[in-house]
Amino acid sequence: MNLALRAVAQPGDTIAVESPAFFGLLQILESLGLRALEIPTSPTTGLSLEALDIALTTCPGVKALVVVPNLRNPLGCVMPDARKAEPVRLCARHRVAVIEDEPYRELIDDQPERARPLKAWDRDGGVIYCVSLKVLAPGMRLGWMSSGRWRARVRLLKFAQTRHNESLAQFVAAEFIGSGTYERHLHRLREKLRVQREASADAVGRYFPSGTRLSLPPGGLLLWVALPDGASSDALFEAALPHGIRIAPGSIFSNSARFRSYIRLSCPRPFDERMDAALRQLGHLAARLDAA
Ligand SMILES: Cc1ncc(COP(=O)(O)O)c(C=O)c1O
Protein backbone atom coordinates (compact mmCIF):
# COMPACT_ATOMS: atom_id res chain seq x y z
CA MET A 1 0.00 0.00 0.00
CA ASN A 2 2.92 2.29 0.77
CA LEU A 3 4.44 1.66 -2.65
CA ALA A 4 1.13 2.09 -4.46
CA LEU A 5 0.35 5.36 -2.70
CA ARG A 6 3.83 6.72 -3.27
CA ALA A 7 3.59 5.82 -6.96
CA VAL A 8 0.39 7.79 -7.55
CA ALA A 9 0.50 10.68 -5.08
CA GLN A 10 2.70 13.38 -3.57
CA PRO A 11 2.62 14.75 0.00
CA GLY A 12 -0.39 17.06 0.40
CA ASP A 13 -2.56 15.12 -2.09
CA THR A 14 -5.99 13.76 -1.22
CA ILE A 15 -6.87 10.04 -1.26
CA ALA A 16 -10.44 8.75 -1.14
CA VAL A 17 -10.92 5.93 1.37
CA GLU A 18 -13.87 3.86 2.53
CA SER A 19 -15.24 4.92 5.89
CA PRO A 20 -14.78 3.33 8.37
CA ALA A 21 -11.27 2.52 7.12
CA PHE A 22 -8.62 0.08 8.38
CA PHE A 23 -6.60 2.18 10.85
CA GLY A 24 -3.34 0.94 9.29
CA LEU A 25 -4.31 2.70 6.08
CA LEU A 26 -4.98 5.96 7.93
CA GLN A 27 -1.54 5.62 9.54
CA ILE A 28 0.11 5.12 6.14
CA LEU A 29 -1.67 8.18 4.74
CA GLU A 30 -0.53 10.26 7.67
CA SER A 31 3.05 9.01 7.43
CA LEU A 32 3.16 9.93 3.73
CA GLY A 33 1.65 13.39 4.31
CA LEU A 34 -1.54 12.45 2.39
CA ARG A 35 -5.04 13.54 3.28
CA ALA A 36 -7.99 11.14 3.59
CA LEU A 37 -11.37 11.88 2.05
CA GLU A 38 -13.76 9.47 3.73
CA ILE A 39 -16.49 7.97 1.54
CA PRO A 40 -19.49 6.41 3.32
CA THR A 41 -20.08 2.68 2.98
CA SER A 42 -22.87 0.22 3.66
CA PRO A 43 -22.30 -2.74 6.02
CA THR A 44 -23.70 -5.07 3.37
CA THR A 45 -22.67 -3.76 -0.05
CA GLY A 46 -19.58 -1.69 0.78
CA LEU A 47 -18.54 1.58 -0.83
CA SER A 48 -21.41 3.97 -1.70
CA LEU A 49 -21.11 4.50 -5.46
CA GLU A 50 -23.36 7.55 -5.28
CA ALA A 51 -21.12 9.17 -2.64
CA LEU A 52 -18.01 8.27 -4.66
CA ASP A 53 -19.49 9.89 -7.77
CA ILE A 54 -20.29 13.09 -5.86
CA ALA A 55 -16.84 13.14 -4.20
CA LEU A 56 -14.95 12.72 -7.48
CA THR A 57 -17.08 15.34 -9.20
CA THR A 58 -16.83 17.94 -6.44
CA CYS A 59 -13.21 17.34 -5.28
CA PRO A 60 -11.10 17.52 -8.45
CA GLY A 61 -7.74 16.97 -6.72
CA VAL A 62 -8.30 13.38 -5.55
CA LYS A 63 -5.36 11.19 -6.68
CA ALA A 64 -6.55 7.71 -5.75
CA LEU A 65 -9.32 5.63 -4.27
CA VAL A 66 -8.22 2.93 -1.82
CA VAL A 67 -10.76 0.16 -1.67
CA VAL A 68 -11.10 -3.24 0.05
CA PRO A 69 -14.03 -4.78 -1.81
CA ASN A 70 -13.87 -8.28 -0.33
CA LEU A 71 -14.29 -8.67 3.46
CA ARG A 72 -13.31 -5.21 4.47
CA ASN A 73 -11.72 -4.40 7.82
CA PRO A 74 -13.59 -3.46 10.05
CA LEU A 75 -17.07 -3.90 8.50
CA GLY A 76 -16.61 -7.35 6.98
CA CYS A 77 -18.75 -6.44 3.96
CA VAL A 78 -18.32 -7.90 0.47
CA MET A 79 -19.16 -5.65 -2.47
CA PRO A 80 -21.46 -7.58 -4.85
CA ASP A 81 -19.76 -8.29 -8.18
CA ALA A 82 -22.58 -6.46 -9.95
CA ARG A 83 -21.34 -3.21 -8.35
CA LYS A 84 -17.62 -3.67 -9.02
CA ALA A 85 -17.39 -2.28 -12.54
CA GLU A 86 -18.76 1.11 -11.51
CA PRO A 87 -15.98 2.38 -9.18
CA VAL A 88 -13.38 1.35 -11.79
CA ARG A 89 -15.31 3.21 -14.50
CA LEU A 90 -15.87 6.31 -12.34
CA CYS A 91 -12.22 6.51 -11.34
CA ALA A 92 -11.05 5.99 -14.94
CA ARG A 93 -13.35 8.84 -16.04
CA HIS A 94 -11.86 11.20 -13.44
CA ARG A 95 -8.26 9.97 -14.01
CA VAL A 96 -8.11 8.75 -10.41
CA ALA A 97 -6.04 5.62 -9.59
CA VAL A 98 -7.76 2.71 -7.87
CA ILE A 99 -5.64 0.98 -5.21
CA GLU A 100 -7.26 -2.32 -4.35
CA ASP A 101 -6.27 -3.94 -1.06
CA GLU A 102 -7.00 -7.68 -0.94
CA PRO A 103 -5.95 -9.33 2.33
CA TYR A 104 -9.01 -11.45 3.16
CA ARG A 105 -10.91 -12.64 0.10
CA GLU A 106 -10.05 -16.28 0.72
CA LEU A 107 -11.76 -16.08 4.10
CA ILE A 108 -15.23 -15.62 2.58
CA ASP A 109 -17.20 -18.66 3.82
CA ASP A 110 -18.99 -19.56 0.65
CA GLN A 111 -17.18 -19.89 -2.70
CA PRO A 112 -14.59 -17.13 -2.17
CA GLU A 113 -13.32 -17.65 -5.72
CA ARG A 114 -16.59 -16.19 -6.98
CA ALA A 115 -15.95 -12.79 -5.35
CA ARG A 116 -13.80 -11.21 -8.04
CA PRO A 117 -11.38 -8.34 -7.49
CA LEU A 118 -12.07 -4.90 -9.03
CA LYS A 119 -8.92 -5.59 -11.06
CA ALA A 120 -11.05 -7.97 -13.18
CA TRP A 121 -12.82 -4.90 -14.59
CA ASP A 122 -9.63 -2.91 -15.23
CA ARG A 123 -9.30 -2.10 -18.94
CA ASP A 124 -6.56 0.55 -18.97
CA GLY A 125 -4.19 -0.36 -16.13
CA GLY A 126 -5.85 2.11 -13.73
CA VAL A 127 -6.11 -0.42 -10.86
CA ILE A 128 -3.16 -1.27 -8.61
CA TYR A 129 -3.99 -4.63 -7.06
CA CYS A 130 -2.27 -5.47 -3.74
CA VAL A 131 -2.60 -8.94 -2.23
CA SER A 132 -1.35 -9.96 1.20
CA LEU A 133 -0.44 -13.54 2.05
CA LYS A 134 -1.56 -13.00 5.61
CA VAL A 135 -4.13 -15.82 5.46
CA LEU A 136 -1.19 -18.15 4.92
CA ALA A 137 1.15 -16.75 7.59
CA PRO A 138 0.84 -13.11 8.68
CA GLY A 139 4.30 -13.14 10.25
CA MET A 140 6.03 -13.85 6.92
CA ARG A 141 5.14 -10.31 5.77
CA LEU A 142 4.69 -11.41 2.16
CA GLY A 143 2.42 -10.09 -0.54
CA TRP A 144 2.38 -9.27 -4.21
CA MET A 145 1.00 -6.55 -6.42
CA SER A 146 0.01 -5.92 -10.00
CA SER A 147 0.54 -2.24 -10.52
CA GLY A 148 -1.01 -1.52 -13.89
CA ARG A 149 0.34 1.58 -15.60
CA TRP A 150 2.48 2.49 -12.55
CA ARG A 151 4.55 -0.71 -12.88
CA ALA A 152 7.87 0.95 -13.68
CA ARG A 153 7.42 3.53 -10.93
CA VAL A 154 6.51 0.89 -8.35
CA ARG A 155 9.54 -1.23 -9.32
CA LEU A 156 11.81 1.75 -8.88
CA LEU A 157 10.31 2.66 -5.50
CA LYS A 158 10.52 -0.94 -4.27
CA PHE A 159 14.13 -1.25 -5.36
CA ALA A 160 15.04 2.08 -3.76
CA GLN A 161 13.24 1.20 -0.54
CA THR A 162 14.05 -2.44 0.26
CA ARG A 163 15.65 -4.11 -2.79
CA HIS A 164 14.27 -7.65 -3.04
CA ASN A 165 12.65 -9.68 -0.28
CA GLU A 166 14.35 -12.61 1.39
CA SER A 167 14.04 -15.54 -1.08
CA LEU A 168 13.67 -18.59 1.14
CA ALA A 169 10.33 -17.42 2.61
CA GLN A 170 9.06 -16.73 -0.91
CA PHE A 171 10.04 -20.21 -2.15
CA VAL A 172 8.38 -21.82 0.86
CA ALA A 173 5.18 -19.79 0.34
CA ALA A 174 5.13 -20.59 -3.39
CA GLU A 175 5.60 -24.32 -2.73
CA PHE A 176 2.82 -24.35 -0.15
CA ILE A 177 0.39 -22.35 -2.28
CA GLY A 178 1.10 -24.57 -5.28
CA SER A 179 0.25 -27.71 -3.34
CA GLY A 180 -3.17 -29.02 -2.33
CA THR A 181 -2.19 -28.29 1.27
CA TYR A 182 -2.98 -24.60 0.83
CA GLU A 183 -6.60 -25.31 -0.15
CA ARG A 184 -6.98 -27.63 2.83
CA HIS A 185 -5.48 -24.98 5.09
CA LEU A 186 -7.96 -22.38 3.80
CA HIS A 187 -10.89 -24.76 4.13
CA ARG A 188 -10.02 -25.51 7.76
CA LEU A 189 -9.31 -21.85 8.55
CA ARG A 190 -12.66 -20.68 7.13
CA GLU A 191 -14.52 -23.27 9.15
CA LYS A 192 -12.65 -22.43 12.38
CA LEU A 193 -13.25 -18.71 11.92
CA ARG A 194 -16.93 -19.24 11.16
CA VAL A 195 -17.43 -21.18 14.40
CA GLN A 196 -15.46 -18.61 16.44
CA ARG A 197 -17.23 -15.64 14.83
CA GLU A 198 -20.69 -17.09 15.36
CA ALA A 199 -19.96 -18.06 18.96
CA SER A 200 -18.64 -14.54 19.67
CA ALA A 201 -21.68 -12.95 18.00
CA ASP A 202 -23.98 -15.14 20.14
CA ALA A 203 -22.10 -14.06 23.26
CA VAL A 204 -22.49 -10.39 22.32
CA GLY A 205 -26.23 -11.05 21.93
CA ARG A 206 -26.35 -12.65 25.40
CA TYR A 207 -24.17 -10.24 27.37
CA PHE A 208 -24.31 -6.78 25.81
CA PRO A 209 -26.96 -4.20 26.77
CA SER A 210 -30.14 -3.97 24.72
CA GLY A 211 -29.79 -1.58 21.83
CA THR A 212 -26.44 -3.14 20.81
CA ARG A 213 -26.35 -3.95 17.08
CA LEU A 214 -24.05 -6.21 15.16
CA SER A 215 -23.41 -6.92 11.49
CA LEU A 216 -22.75 -10.59 10.75
CA PRO A 217 -20.14 -10.72 7.97
CA PRO A 218 -20.09 -13.56 5.42
CA GLY A 219 -16.60 -14.65 6.53
CA GLY A 220 -13.39 -13.59 8.26
CA LEU A 221 -12.56 -12.91 11.87
CA LEU A 222 -14.06 -9.50 12.58
CA LEU A 223 -17.28 -8.30 14.18
CA TRP A 224 -18.32 -4.64 14.00
CA VAL A 225 -20.55 -3.82 16.93
CA ALA A 226 -22.63 -0.67 17.50
CA LEU A 227 -23.04 0.15 21.18
CA PRO A 228 -26.34 1.66 22.33
CA ASP A 229 -26.70 5.34 21.46
CA GLY A 230 -24.10 7.67 22.83
CA ALA A 231 -21.89 5.04 24.55
CA SER A 232 -18.23 5.89 24.07
CA SER A 233 -16.10 3.06 22.71
CA ASP A 234 -12.96 4.90 23.86
CA ALA A 235 -14.31 4.77 27.42
CA LEU A 236 -15.07 1.05 26.98
CA PHE A 237 -11.53 0.47 25.66
CA GLU A 238 -10.06 2.17 28.79
CA ALA A 239 -12.40 0.30 31.14
CA ALA A 240 -11.63 -3.09 29.54
CA LEU A 241 -7.81 -2.84 29.52
CA PRO A 242 -7.31 -3.42 33.28
CA HIS A 243 -9.30 -6.67 32.85
CA GLY A 244 -6.80 -7.86 30.23
CA ILE A 245 -9.33 -7.29 27.42
CA ARG A 246 -8.33 -5.32 24.35
CA ILE A 247 -10.87 -4.12 21.79
CA ALA A 248 -10.49 -1.74 18.85
CA PRO A 249 -12.58 1.40 19.48
CA GLY A 250 -14.41 2.87 16.48
CA SER A 251 -12.54 6.16 16.74
CA ILE A 252 -9.36 4.65 15.25
CA PHE A 253 -11.15 3.78 12.00
CA SER A 254 -11.87 7.38 10.99
CA ASN A 255 -10.49 10.89 11.32
CA SER A 256 -13.99 11.99 12.41
CA ALA A 257 -15.97 11.08 15.54
CA ARG A 258 -18.57 9.25 13.42
CA PHE A 259 -17.79 5.79 14.82
CA ARG A 260 -17.23 6.69 18.47
CA SER A 261 -20.02 4.30 19.53
CA TYR A 262 -18.68 1.30 17.59
CA ILE A 263 -16.17 -1.37 18.51
CA ARG A 264 -14.38 -3.98 16.42
CA LEU A 265 -14.01 -7.40 17.97
CA SER A 266 -11.56 -9.95 16.53
CA CYS A 267 -12.20 -13.68 16.85
CA PRO A 268 -8.90 -15.29 15.81
CA ARG A 269 -8.77 -17.73 18.74
CA PRO A 270 -10.92 -20.75 19.63
CA PHE A 271 -14.04 -19.73 21.54
CA ASP A 272 -13.50 -21.12 25.02
CA GLU A 273 -14.51 -20.28 28.61
CA ARG A 274 -11.96 -17.48 28.75
CA MET A 275 -13.36 -15.83 25.66
CA ASP A 276 -16.91 -16.25 26.96
CA ALA A 277 -15.93 -14.69 30.30
CA ALA A 278 -14.17 -11.79 28.54
CA LEU A 279 -17.23 -11.00 26.42
CA ARG A 280 -19.47 -11.26 29.51
CA GLN A 281 -17.18 -8.80 31.31
CA LEU A 282 -17.16 -6.50 28.29
CA GLY A 283 -20.95 -6.62 28.17
CA HIS A 284 -21.15 -5.63 31.87
CA LEU A 285 -18.75 -2.75 31.29
CA ALA A 286 -20.73 -1.61 28.23
CA ALA A 287 -23.96 -1.68 30.27
CA ARG A 288 -22.32 0.41 32.99
CA LEU A 289 -21.16 2.98 30.42
CA ASP A 290 -24.57 3.00 28.85
CA ALA A 291 -26.15 3.77 32.21
CA ALA A 292 -23.57 6.45 33.12
C1 LIG B 1 -7.67 -4.17 5.10
C2 LIG B 1 -6.26 -4.51 5.49
N3 LIG B 1 -5.26 -4.21 4.65
C4 LIG B 1 -3.98 -4.51 4.96
C5 LIG B 1 -3.66 -5.11 6.14
C6 LIG B 1 -2.22 -5.39 6.46
O7 LIG B 1 -1.84 -6.57 5.88
P8 LIG B 1 -0.34 -7.13 6.12
O9 LIG B 1 -0.36 -7.78 7.45
O10 LIG B 1 -0.14 -8.06 5.00
O11 LIG B 1 0.55 -5.93 6.11
C12 LIG B 1 -4.65 -5.44 7.06
C13 LIG B 1 -4.28 -6.06 8.32
O14 LIG B 1 -5.00 -6.22 9.25
C15 LIG B 1 -5.99 -5.14 6.72
O16 LIG B 1 -6.97 -5.43 7.56
Residue 187 alpha carbon to ligand 1 centre in Å: 20
- Across the strands, what pairs with 98? 65, 127
Q: CA 90, CA 70: separation in Å to the nearest integer?
A: 19
Q: pLDDT band for position 292 (50/70/90)?
A: low
What tens digit of pLDDT does each residue of 187-216 get? 999 999 999 999 999 999 999 999 999 989
Q: Compute the 3-state secondary structure of the chain and give helix, strand, coil in percent, each to the nearest 5.
A: 50, 20, 35
pLDDT range class, residue 290, cuts 50, 70, 90: low
Residues 135 and 25: their CA atoms lie apart, in Å, by: 19
**Index of the ligand 1 atom closest to the CA of residue 138:** 9
C-alpha 144/C-alpha 110 separation (Å) is: 24
User: What are the pLDDT digits (tens) for 220-255?
Assistant: 999 999 999 889 999 999 999 999 999 999 999 999
**CB-ligand 1 contact for 268 (6 Å cutoff):** no
Q: d(Cα 66, Cα 251) in Å, to the nearest integer?
A: 19
CATH topology of domain 192-291: Aspartate Aminotransferase, domain 1 (3.90.1150)
Mean pLDDT of 2-31: 98
Q: Can you tell me which atom of ligand 1 is nearest the CA of 1? A: 4
Asked whether 230 lines ligand 1 (CB < 6 A), one says no
Class of domain 2-176 as given by CATH: alpha beta
* 8 A C-beta contact, residue 221 and residue 197: yes
Cβ of residue 134 lying under 6 Å from some atom of ligand 1: yes
pLDDT of residue 164 exceeding 90, the answer is no
Q: Do the first three CATH levels of 2-176 and 192-291 match, i.e. the same topology?
A: no
- Mean pLDDT (whole number) for 112-122: 96
125 lines ligand 1 (CB under 6 A): no
Instruction: Give domain limits for the chain.
Output: 2-176, 192-291
Task: Give strand ranges (E) for the chain.
Answer: 14-19, 35-42, 46-47, 62-67, 97-102, 127-132, 143-146, 213-215, 222-226, 248-249, 262-266
Q: How far is the CA of 137 from the centre of ligand 1 (A)?
A: 12
Ligand 1 contacts CB of residue 97 (under 6 A): no
